[in-house]
Amino acid sequence: MRQKVEVCEILRRSEGPRLGPYMLNDGGSAKETLDGIAANWKATIAEHGCN
Q: What's the pLDDT tens digit per position in 20-41? A: 554 555 556 677 777 877 888 7
**What pLDDT was estimated at residue 22?**
47
Q: Which pLDDT does position 41 carry in this prediction?
A: 79
> Looking at residues 10-15, what average pLDDT do you find?
68
Is pTM beyond 0.85 here?
A: no
Distance between CA atoms of residues 31 and 47, nearest Å = 24
Domain boundary assignment for the chain: 2-47
Q: Which helix (H) or strand (E) holds 50?
A: none
Q: At what angle do helices 30-47 and 2-13 cross, to 10 degrees?
A: 160
Top-confidence residue, 16 or 36? 36
Would you state the pLDDT for residue 27? Answer: 59
